[in-house]
Amino acid sequence: MGWIKVVGIGPGQHKDMTVRAIKALRDSEVVIGYATYINLIRHLVMDKEIIYSGMRQEVDRCKKALELAFLGRKVALVSGGDPGIYGMAGILYELAQNGDINAEIEIIPGVSAVNAAASLLGAPLMTDFASISLSDHLTPWEAIAKRLEMAARADFVIALFNPKSSERRDNISRALDIVLKYRCISTPCGIVKNAYRKGESTIVTKLGDLLKQNIDMTTLIIIGNSSTFIAGGKMITPRGYVF
């Protein structure tokens, strides 16, 4: 019987991949993925059949994986970061439950961009945090705005995925307007671009200066809560220990 392993390849560099992810790629016959991600793992899959696909072709990629697994092939479906966080795991299970699929599916977790960014910024996620994607491609802006409002009001640390694309230039400033209703402009915030990849940059600044930074789709933003502070250039959210 064929199988599909949805492989979380982590943020980019080889040493941030799990041993299990590397093994799954090695054991596969066919590798399917978005070209940018395939390029990050090319050295591991030189001898495999590779099926490239473009951005926003996630559904086609999953359908292809299911088709091939049905024919008995061993398929690695590559997902950036962790496949269970805005990744391929959900689409595959949703499609699989609609059809009569006789293939084994395994999700291989990876280091998410949120983990990678937090480690570069210091220790911003030491207490409760909310992860919010600013992409309104699949989620209406009203839902995103409500989540931002609630998370900011409840004093969650907030991680923002998909902060900006060429079609969505204003979402970040709209998001900031919402958060600033509950948090002051001096709140620490971190901007990490291309974490553990070529072109990496890490900036620790204040919420009031967020929009001065270069923000795009390769960026993850972490906004501190009301206790987060900056020390030695790092962003730290205290958990409540008394020393």
- Contact positions vs ligand SAH (CB under 6 A): 11-12, 79-82, 85-87, 112-113, 116-117, 161-163, 192, 194-195, 197, 217-220
CA end-to-end span of the chain: 57
Q: For residues 2 and 25, which CB has a smaller minimum distance to ligand SAH in the complex?
A: 25
SS3 5: strand
Report, in Å, the least distance between residue 116 CB and ligand SAH: 6
| 186 within 8 A of 235, measured Cβ to Cβ | no
Pick from 10, 32, 11, 30: nearest CA to 22: 10
| 144 within 8 A of 172, measured Cβ to Cβ | no
Q: Which residues contact 116 (CB under 8 A, 6 or more apart)?
A: 10, 11, 16, 81, 192, 195, 196, 220
SS3 66: helix
| Neighbour count for residue 165 (Cβ, 10 Å) | 14
Report, in Å, the least distance between residue 237 CB and ligand SAH: 19
Pick from 77, 63, 70: nearest CA to 30: 77
Report, in Å, the least distance between residue 79 CB and ligand SAH: 6
| Neighbour count for residue 3 (Cβ, 10 Å) | 19
Q: Give the residues across from 77 on adjacent strands.
A: 6, 32
Report, in Å, the least distance between residue 243 CB and ligand SAH: 32
Output the CA–CA distances (angstroms, integers) from residue 11 to 127, 133, 134, in the order listed: 22, 17, 19
Q: For residues 198 and 239, which CB has a smaller minimum distance to ligand SAH in the complex?
A: 198
| 219 within 8 A of 164, measured Cβ to Cβ | yes
Report, in Å, the least distance between residue 137 CB and ligand SAH: 11
Report, in Å, the least distance between residue 7 CB and ligand SAH: 12
Report, in Å, the least distance between residue 240 CB and ligand SAH: 28
Q: For residues 45 and 116, which CB has a smaller minimum distance to ligand SAH in the complex?
A: 116
Nearest to ligand SAH by Cβ — which residue?
A: 81
Q: For residues 2 and 159, which CB has a smaller minimum distance to ligand SAH in the complex?
A: 159
